[in-house]
């Protein structure tokens, strides 16, 4: 499992580098228009949700002001500043003409405190990078050849006390202590540096929970490396296991990274549900970026059960735009949902009473197969109401039932508990019980 873990992260690092340099190859296949005969520089504001997917303003958590160049490729060039929706900067950086980050960069916490700062060289993190806690305490100084090949020069605990100084000494670094700065969480590095160079034996440990009547934390050293004055000599998988389980490694461990996750999502140009191609084949992201056309959600369901499945996906997508629900477990019903109640999101063990839902969502499917007469009443916060309204009003080409009364939709949004989730809170969407269809035997 640990070997698989290593290769998954190594491949991910490779893909990140690939997307950084050729970030917009996929986009240009979507954006290239016969009318584009010369490079166009478009300076505009683009909005992103909490996961850094392109979106419109309503569900946005961030926005970017910068210049996008569109020729045979499409990419950002020149200075770019990302902002939180409160107007505080989130990142200040510069892209070169190839669309790679190049030059000094600063990342910020929502209150304006510096999160990390350093330098990019042609899309790689290079030189000294300074990492800070959300309280403004300097936590680490890393000397980077790249975002996955770095040497700690200074390390400080959460209280600002030194663990390593002046690039010399032995140290223990737990990535969980640097949440949002060093990924992945749950690993430990035990190593030594001398005069700013890796030296001696380095060990990498993973931590996981086991259950033998009670939950206990278990650790395992899955990799060791040998360095001499900064030069990698060799590595060994499972160094403390029997000989048959060991494996020689010929390159340094590259699964721990300083690369901000947002940049991978940005480079891949992931987009919100509203930008999905329509049932009629319209590429909405292209139309939005190039022509400014407003997107819609057009899947063209052909039954009431497919309508309900679409309502579930749309409302779930709305709720996970909220920060407190963005990274919780959620599930999709697929194209069709025959059930009358569906558990969408598992928000975690503790949910404040004020955050629980018990709301009624009512609307009509109009003759033009869009949503009208929408009302949302009951126990629901204003932000959730705003998001659900935004997404439902984007729906087009819904299934229109021949019976008028069946086009008057009543949905119930509730936070409840059920045995399928060990009685933990579940946010579910329900509809009135549906009659079984007539069956001829």
- Distance, CA of 148 to CA of 118 (rounded, Å): 15
Lowest mean per-residue pLDDT among 46-55, 83-92, 166-175, 410-419: 410-419
Please spell the DSSP secondary structure of 198-248, one letter per residue. EEEEEEEEEEEEEESSSEEEEEEEEEEEEEETTEEEEEEESTTS-GGG-EE
Name every residue whose Cβ is closer than 8 Å to that of residue 334 and which is 6 or more positions away in sequence. Answer: 309
- Distance, CA of 255 to CA of 16 (rounded, Å): 12
Q: What is the pLDDT of residues 103-160, one digit of tens each?
A: 999 999 999 999 999 999 999 999 999 999 999 999 999 999 999 999 999 999 887 7
Could you tell me the pLDDT band of residue 1, with boundaries at 50, 70 and 90?
very low
Q: What is the pLDDT of residues 146-197, one digit of tens each?
A: 999 999 999 998 877 899 999 999 999 999 999 889 999 889 999 999 999 9
Domain ranges for the chain, please list them. Answer: 2-267, 296-430
- 8 Å CB contact between 105 and 29: no
Name every residue whose Cβ is closer than 8 Å to that of residue 432 and which is 6 or more positions away in sequence. Answer: 340, 410
């Amino acid at each position: 499992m640990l070997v698989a873990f290593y290769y998954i992260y190594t491949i991910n690092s490779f893909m990140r580098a690939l997307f950084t340099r050729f970030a917009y190859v996929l986009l240009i296949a979507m954006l290239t228009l016969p009318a584009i005969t010369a490079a166009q520089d478009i300076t505009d504001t683009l909005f992103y949700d909490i996961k850094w997917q392109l979106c419109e303003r309503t569900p946005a958590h961030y926005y970017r002001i910068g210049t996008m160049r569109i020729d045979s490729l499409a990419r950002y060039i020149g200075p770019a500043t990302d902002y939180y929706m409160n107007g505080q900067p989130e990142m200040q950086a510069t892209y070169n003409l190839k669309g790679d980050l190049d030059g000094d960069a600063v990342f910020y916490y929502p209150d304006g405190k510096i999160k990390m700062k350093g330098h990019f060289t042609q899309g790689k993190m290079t030189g000294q990078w300074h990492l800070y806690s959300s309280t403004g305490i300097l936590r680490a100084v890393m000397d980077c050849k790249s975002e996955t090949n770095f040497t700690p020069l200074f390390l400080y605990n959460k209280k600002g006390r030194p663990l390593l100084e002046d690039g010399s000494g032995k140290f223990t670094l737990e990535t969980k202590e640097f949440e949002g700065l060093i990924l992945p969480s749950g690993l430990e590095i035990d190593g030594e540096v001398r005069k700013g160079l890796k030296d001696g034996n380095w060990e990498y440990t993973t931590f996981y929970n086991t259950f033998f009547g009670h939950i206990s934390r278990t650790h395992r050293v899955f990799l060791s490396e040998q360095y001499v004055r900064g030069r990698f000599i060799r590595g060994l998988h499972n160094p403390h296991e029997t000989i048959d389980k060991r494996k020689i490694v010929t390159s340094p461990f590259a699964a721990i990274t300083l690369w901000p996750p947002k940049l991978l999502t940005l480079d891949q140009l992931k987009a919100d549900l509203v930008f999905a191609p329509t049932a009629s084949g319209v590429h909405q992201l292209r139309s939005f970026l190039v022509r400014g056309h407003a997107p819609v959600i057009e899947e063209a369901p052909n039954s009431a059960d497919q309508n309900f499945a679409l309502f579930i996906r749309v409302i779930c997508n709305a709720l996970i735009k909220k920060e407190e629900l963005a990274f919780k477990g959620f599930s999709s019903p697929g194209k069709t949902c025959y059930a009358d109640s569906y558990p969408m999101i598992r928000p975690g063990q503790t949910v404040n009473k004020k955050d629980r839902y018990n709301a009624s969502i009512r609307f009509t499917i109009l003759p033009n197969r869009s949503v009208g007469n929408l009302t949302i009443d009951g126990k629901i916060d204003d932000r959730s109401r705003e998001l659900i309204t935004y997404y439902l009003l984007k729906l087009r080409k819904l299934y229109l039932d021949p019976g008028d009364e069946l086009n008057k939709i009543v949905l119930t949004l509730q936070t409840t508990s059920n045995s399928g989730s060990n009685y933990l809170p579940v946010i579910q969407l329900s509809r009135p019980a549906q009659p079984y269809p007539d069956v001829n035997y």
